[in-house]
Amino acid sequence: MAHHDQFPPQQQEPPGLTGAMDPTPDHGEASYQGSGRLSGRRALITGGDSGIGRAAAIAFAREGADVAIGYLAVEQEDAEETARWVREAGRTACLLPGDLTDESFARGLAQQAADALGGLDVLVNNAGYQMARGTSIDTLDSADVDRVIRTNLYALLWVTQGALRHLPRGGAIVNISSIQAYEPSGTLVDYASTKAAINNVTVNLAGELGARGIRVNAVAPGPVWTPLQPATQDAEHLTEFGANVPLGRAGQPAEVAPAIVFLASERDASYVSGTVLGVTGGRPVF
Ligand code: NAD
Ligand code: MG
């Protein structure tokens, strides 16, 4: 999508599926060209079935990495499509369905990935959940808030704890934050707060893990066309999705993946840790 086009009104139940989206997102299937940036690395990408996670999986595979993908069981068709692209790039894909709000599953996920891939070098904490609600804080419901915080913050900590039993010197963690950490929307107060927390955790872990030679960074996307949007925003809001950023349009998952590759790559980002890279279409991340 070269310039701002209105998205057709559409709605899905969370977590949403790629096949029901109009237009189909661009995950770099036809465009991403690798150059060995992640040669021989083994990566776990949570929420790697769709959206930004799928684009990262395709890019990682074309950069030479084997990829394990976490996702919800109801997203099986999306996960299989991502795995197909990873295998087409000549790399190993491993599918790990399960609910990250379940502490024991989340804590064990990195072990499953390491068992399947023979080790683990890169963790991308990409799974996330939001639900737009009214603009008043009165409309916050505890069960919703709990799901948002467990998915975006608790699970990130649990998966990371598991991964740190495997990540070697030269390993990397990339957390997916959001423009919402900087410019929070009234309709996403709980979600935005978890993204601010993820930035804070990123800096904190970079401090702790530097001595182990493990780099920790975050990518903060702006509005990106993924299943999360039709599954969690109202249909009307979507028609203007992305129109209010300086570049005047929503981004595609394919436009976020290169930032994740950069931060994951020991070749390109060996001295980059504790930072947040904005991919926002022009909105500020400071
Ligand atoms: P997406 O729906 O394609 O990906 C999110 C994934 O999270 C889902 O595919 C699902 O597999 C996973 N997930 C959610 N709840 C889970 C659970 N309980 N257990 C296991 N997996 C679970 O949407 P996306 O936009 O690509 O989202 C990826 C990340 O990008 C999220 O962290 C999101 O907050 C962030 N983000 C997205 C946007 C955007 O505009 N799309 C903007 C800023 C940040
Ligand atoms: Mg999905």
54-79 tens-digit pLDDT? 999 999 999 999 999 999 999 999 99
pLDDT band at 1 (very low <50, low <70, confident <90, very high): very low
Domain that holds residue 202: 35-279
Residue 102, helix vs strand vs coil: coil
Burial of 176 (0-12, 13-18, 19+ CB in 10 A): buried
Cis link prior to 23 (omega < 30° from 0)?
yes
Q: Percent of the chain, pLDDT > 70?
A: 98
pLDDT at 3: 53
Share of the chain above pLDDT 90, in %: 93
State the closest ligand 1 atom to the C-alpha of 179, by its place in the atom list counted from 1: 43
- CA–CA gap between residue 176 and residue 195 (Å, rounded): 8
Give CA–CA dist 160/137, Å, rounded. Answer: 31
Tell me if 222 is assigned to some domain: yes
Let me know if residue 254 belongs to a domain: yes
274 occurs within a structural domain:
yes
245-261 pLDDT tens trace: 999 999 999 999 999 99
145 to 92, 141, 249, 278: CA distances (angstroms): 36, 6, 29, 25
Measure 226 CA to ligand 2 centroid, in angstroms: 8
Show which residues are catalytic. 191
Q: Is residue 200, in this structure, part of any structural domain at all?
A: yes
Q: Quick check: is 29 in a domain?
A: no
Q: What is the CATH number of the domain that holds 168?
A: 3.40.50.720
In a domain, 223, yes or no: yes
Domain count within the chain? 1
For ligand 1, pick from 228, 229, 240 the residue to mutate: most ligand atoms within 8 Å of CB. 228
Q: Which residue has its alpha carbon closest to ligand 1 atom 10?
A: 47
Average pLDDT, the chain: 96
For residue 191, the CA-to-ligand 2 centroid distance in Å is 17
> pTM of the predicted model, to two decimals?
0.98
d(CA 192, CA 128): 11
83 is a domain residue: yes
Q: Is residue 11 in some structural domain? A: no
Quick one: which atom of ligand 1 is closest to the CA of 71? 11
